[in-house]
Amino acid sequence: LQGRLGQAHSANFAAKGFTPEELVILSGAYSIGKAHCFSFNDRLTEPNSEINANYHDNVLNKTCYAAPNETTLANNIRDIDVATLGPRRQRSTRRSTRGLLPHSSVAAPLRRPPLLAILRGDRERG
């Protein structure tokens, strides 16, 4: 894991006894498709190149700024951008650091093909 965020993320997980592989697995768990606005609210002020511009302008700004501090409101949970869904799309999005959540790109440089093959096999078995 590279960069300041990657190091901090790794350190937080390591302090709890997690391996780098477990970090990748658990960090990717959000990809079920939902995120609370407070998880990425600070990224709404970053340049549009950080998040898909259409999604940024038409979904996130309109819904998250409607009630920015109300974590219990239904409109404070967002579907993750369609462009970030799907394993191939997620890898591409993370490599370009355009993922919705700030740690979307943290695990991108960490490639563990044997682990990924095991996970892929588990998913295929159901």
Residues flagged as binding site: 81
Q: Specify binding-site residues for Ca(2+).
A: 81
The distance between the two most distant Cα atoms of the chain, rounded to a whole number of Å, is 44
The three-state secondary structure class of 80 is coil
Round to whole Å and give the CA distance between 5 and 1.
Answer: 9
Round to whole Å and give the CA distance between 102 and 118.
Answer: 26
